[in-house]
Amino acid sequence: MDEPRNVTPEDERQQQTQSDAERRVDEADWTGQTWTHHGRNFPWLGILLVLVGVALLIQAALPPNTVSAGTVLLFAIGAALIAGWLFGGSWFAAIPGLLLLALGIARMISELNIYTGSGTTALSLAGAFVLIWAIGLARDKRSRWPLVAAAIVGLVGLVQISGRLTNIPELTVVWPVVIIVVGVLLLISARRR
pLDDT confidence of residue 103: 95
| pLDDT for residue 59 | 76
Q: State the CB neighbour count (10 A cutoff) for residue 156.
A: 20
**CA dist 70 → 66, 73, 79, 97 (Å):** 12, 5, 14, 15
Integer Cα distance of 167 and 48 in angstroms: 44
**Residue (of 40, 129, 143, 128) closest to 84 by Cα position:** 40
φ/ψ of residue 38, rounded to 5: 60, 35
Q: What is the pLDDT of residue 102?
A: 96
Query: Best-predicted range by mean pLDDT among 3-12, 63-72, 143-152, 159-168?
Result: 143-152
The arithmetic mean of pLDDT across residues 68-88, rounded, is: 85
d(CA 115, CA 117): 6
Residues, the chain: 193
pLDDT in tens, 137-188: 888 887 888 988 898 888 888 877 776 665 666 566 676 777 788 778 878 8
Residue 168 has a pLDDT of: 60
Tell me the average pLDDT of the chain. Answer: 77
